Amino acid sequence: MNPPLRLPALSFAALLLSFSALAAPAAPGPLRAGAARVDITPRVNPGYPPSGKYGHEHLFIRAIVLDNGVTRAALLGADLGGLSEDIYSTAAKQIAALLNCPVQNIIMSATHTHAGSPAGPPPPGFPRQPTEQIVAAMMDAVRQAKANLQPALVGYGAGFSYLNVNRDTVSDQTHRWTQAANLNAPSDKTVAVVSFTTPSGDPIAAYVNYAMHPINGYLVGITTADFAGAACRYVEQAFDDKMVMVFTQGASGDQNPLYLRPSTNALASASGVPATGYEMVRENIEAPLRDRKVPYRRPDPKVADRFERWIESEGDVLGEEVIRVMSNVHDRSGDVALWGAQTNISCPGRTRTGSGREGAPGTYTDGPPVGIRLGIVGIGDIALSTVNAEIYTLIGQRAKKNSPLAHTVVVTLANGRANSGYIPDDASFGHETFQVLGSRLKPGCAEQGIANGLDSLISQYASK
């Protein structure tokens, strides 16, 4: 299964590109795959102990290890808010040494759950799990996945889910920019699935990509892997826990869940605001807790249980789409190339001088340049491209549209964490939302830099 050639014309204005591992061959070989998961659920949550009824209450490190006889690769997913540069640099080196493969052949990303910390709410007071524990869990998962290597086939499929919605909008009440559902703005509904099976068709692993912020549990006080973790457990349990699903975030910087009624009612209960039963304006009830203007209260048990059941339901719906796609992937290959590379781009930065969360223009001075790490792991005719930041929808769509490989996935929050903040597309820099106002980037560089940088990496792979 050789990658088809379709090389785009690229522009590198205002970019500093530093490529690595460009001379490495991309020779095909017989694929083997193995997968494993390691539980990293915090043992104590004094604010709201887990009920034990729902799969999303558990947090995992999941790993898929690939071997084609020429080289190896590893795909890791973590039920965490993000992966620091320290975690990435430490774990990547150890994993590369364990697998005897280049660091560029490793992708590790976070599901971005906003409620994975071990102690009571609200942030930022949550103690974080130590780097050493996370790295140790990653190494454990990779060792187990390596031990589970077996002959495998790989295939790509794509489906759709309408659970997400663009969250940059102008309020009907204040006529200012805010965080709420915008049904008329860009939103990528694609559920991308890279499926690994045995030659007889039994599932080994699925590498899944969807763009939606896991904010259901933010500030509610319940430890949860959110819809992403619920979807993983739903799919894994559907196959009697004989396979592993790794969830990755697509271009979700401007994407929220469409349905926020259960979480906004739980959030209201935690802040002492009467839960109306209707969907509530998230920003209005989030702000008092986020800004520590009201004390946290444990949510009403009935409201909290409805909230947890909704997370489970959201994961079930997404999980069913994943299984539907897996069921219809028929073009599989067992003889594939594995190849990885990374690049860094640098864009002009800015430092905000004003204050205010949203709804008013920001003021800025020149700031230091911002570095963004991009990467690719090629698997046959599939390109898993990576960005170490939260990017807006149109950037991800542009990268996929211009890619020389039709089966291109954009994985965000991967391989460390850029200090850029959110990365809006150029057209969205006029939005006075918290994501845009807090971005450390000047407009006019990152969108083109990311899209062209990824396409250049994929083009190199496609030409080998």
Q: What is the pLDDT of residues 221-231, one digit of tens each?
A: 888 999 999 99
pLDDT of residue 15: 37
Q: What phi and psi values does residue 349 have, to the nearest 5 degrees? A: -110, 170
The residue length of the chain stands at: 464
Query: Could you give the angle at which helices 446-462 and 393-402 cross, rounded to 10 degrees?
Result: 30
Whether 393 shows a pLDDT value over 70: the answer reads: yes
Q: Which helix (H) or strand (E) holds 133?
A: helix 131-147
For residue 157 the two structure tokens come to 């499929």
Q: Give percent above pLDDT 90 in the chain.
A: 80
What average pLDDT does this structure show over 103-128?
72
pLDDT of residue 52: 86
pLDDT of residue 45: 66
Tell me, what DSSP letter sits at residue 211?
A: -
d(CA 300, CA 302): 6
d(CA 446, CA 450): 6
What average pLDDT does this structure show over 351-367?
94
What is the rounded average pLDDT for all residues in the chain? 91
CA–CA distances in Å: residue 423 to residues 80, 88, 251, 372: 20, 20, 10, 10
Residue-wise pLDDT for 168-192, tens only, equals: 999 999 999 999 999 999 999 999 9
Handedness of CA 113, 117, 118, 121 (dihedral sign): negative
Dihedral angle computed from the Cα positions of residues 250, 255, 261 and 263, in that order, rounded to the nearest 10 degrees:
60
Collect all residues with Cβ–Cβ distance below 8 Å to 202 and sequence separation of at least 6.
242, 243
Residue-wise pLDDT for 250-291, tens only, equals: 999 999 999 999 999 999 998 888 888 899 988 888 888 888
CA–CA distances in Å: residue 378 to residues 72, 119, 128, 385, 411: 11, 39, 33, 8, 13
Cα–Cα nearest to 336, from 454, 461, 211: 461
Residue-wise pLDDT for 15-50, tens only, equals: 334 444 444 568 999 999 999 999 999 876 666 778
What pTM was estimated for this model as a whole? Answer: 0.93
* 274 vs 429: which has the higher pLDDT: 429
pLDDT of residue 24: 59
Query: Could you give the angle at which helices 301-327 and 226-238 cross, rounded to 10 degrees?
Result: 50
d(CA 271, CA 287): 10
pLDDT of residue 123: 44
Q: Which helix (H) or strand (E) holds 437?
A: helix 434-437
∠ CA 349-115-104, rounded to 5°: 55
Tell me, what DSSP letter sits at residue 151?
A: E
* Residue 417 pLDDT level (bands cut at 50, 70, 90): very high
For residue 349 the two structure tokens come to 């930065």
d(CA 87, CA 153): 31
- Would you call the peptide bond into 186 cis, given omega within 30 degrees of 0 as the criterion? no
Q: Which amino acid is at 106?
A: I
**Summary count for the chain: helices (H), strands (E):** 9, 18
pLDDT of residue 48: 73
**Of 297-306, 404-413, 436-445, which gets the smallest average pLDDT?**
297-306
pLDDT of residue 19: 40
Cα–Cα nearest to 213, from 269, 173, 175, 263: 263
Whether 14 shows a pLDDT value over 50: the answer reads: no
Collect all residues with Cβ–Cβ distance below 8 Å to 39 and sequence separation of at least 6.
58, 59, 60
- Would you call the peptide bond into 369 cis, given omega within 30 degrees of 0 as the criterion? no
d(CA 48, CA 464): 53
For residue 237 the two structure tokens come to 């349990």
**Of 85-99, 267-281, 386-400, which gets the smallest average pLDDT?**
267-281
**Of 122-131, 216-225, 430-439, which gets the smallest average pLDDT?**
122-131
Burial class (CB in 10 A: 0-12, 13-18, 19+), 94: middle
Tell me, what DSSP letter sits at residue 420?
A: T
∠ CA 307-308-310, rounded to 5°: 65
What average pLDDT does this structure show over 219-247?
96
pLDDT of residue 122: 44
